[in-house]
A = this chain, B = another copy of it.
Amino acid sequence: MSMFAGVEMGGTKVMVAFGTGPEDLSAPVRIPTTTPEETLTNVERLIAGAATGARLLGIGVATFGPARLERTAPDWGTLLPTPKPGWGGAVIGPRLADAFGVPVAFETDVNGAAMGEGRWGAARGLGDHVYVTIGTGVGVGLIVNGAPLHGALHPEAGHIKVRRDPARDPFEGCCPFHGDCLEGLVSGPAIAARVGQPGETLSADDPVWDLIADYLAQAMATLTFVTAPERIVIGGGVGSHPAVLLATQRRLAKELNGYMPHLTSDEAIQAYLVRPALGDRSGVLGAIALAQTLFNSSQTTKAPDAPVSRGTPEEHPHDRRQLDG
């Protein structure tokens, strides 16, 4: 039996699962995120354990950032300076490639989730879509022409500005960099700071949700105008709140005001801004999707009869440009 390992690295926990898709997936195992050494050793143990009973074809990592995604960069597969103590410079991709000798895909958590929802979930079959998560922070992953958008590093679309009316919302935002950017206004901590209790404890008709929907609709309009996606999948504790999603859809129509010709009806907007279909598994499944894509491209760049790469030193996946396509 062949399988891929999916590793979703979060700031507080790492989820690891094995398989080839949603119908063939082991129960995700949760590892607390402590030091890089301890955490990655635990990840390696899990993978090694699973690889004794099945053939491991590749590993996908979907990680918190900032992270170096560009495969040709000397520091590919590492984390960049981050507020999370000890994790700046942590070497993840090369370490797993060395340990297991298989291709390793290395992406942001949100690009991973976007790939997962695109392969098997709410954006299935699309090549241009966006995944947005609103929870402790705001993250945005973008797929363009079927591949994750990296750009110079990776997007940080949680930090775009939206308009705030201080008379309606005197809360000045909690982003340490930008104050009342999107994340500073709609993240879980922003909601808790504004109303004095966690969002989870508020009723569905609390007026704060209307405010959140207003900001989210502005942000969804900006994402729509800038990248014209075929669909936006919006998740996370705040993003999938039923009252928030409905109100955001309604307001998004007003923000666009008929300007995007494919998004002029309520039905079109409802099919455009949707909830994730893979629940809390979009991350690990996305990591597996990325590993599969990398594995497949490594196969097509070889002679048909060549053996599967085992990651010998002269051909580490991160040294081979063509795998990045």
**Any chain B CB within 8 A of the CB of A228?**
yes
Q: Which of A29-37, A216-224, A302-310 contacts B (4 or more CB under 8 A)?
A: A216-224
Residue of B nearest to A228 (CB): B151
Task: Determine how many copies of this chain the complex contains.
Answer: 2
Q: A142 contacts which chain B residues (CB < 8 A)?
A: 226-227
Q: How large is the interface on A (under 10, 10 to 19, 20 to 34, 35 or more residues)?
A: 35 or more
Nearest Cβ on chain B to A131's Cβ, whole angstroms: 13
Question: Given A161-B163, A163-B161, does the pair A229, B151 have CB atoms closer than 8 Å?
Answer: yes
Interface residues of A (CB under 8 A from B): 66, 80-81, 128, 140, 142, 144-145, 147, 149-163, 177-178, 218, 221-223, 225-230, 255, 257-262
Whether B221 contacts A223 by the Cβ 8 Å rule is no
Whether B228 contacts A161 by the Cβ 8 Å rule is no
Q: A156 contacts which chain B residues (CB < 8 A)?
A: 225, 228, 259-260
Q: A157 contacts which chain B residues (CB < 8 A)?
A: 225-226
Question: Given A161-B163, A161-B218, A222-B160, does the pair A227, B177 have CB atoms closer than 8 Å?
Answer: no
- Beyond A156-B260, A161-B255, A178-B257, 5 extra complex contacts between A and B, CB < 8 Å: A144-B149, A152-B230, A161-B162, A161-B221, A226-B226
Nearest Cβ on chain B to A234's Cβ, whole angstroms: 15
Contact of A225 among B149, B155, B218, B230 (CB under 8 A): B155
Residue of B nearest to A258 (CB): B177
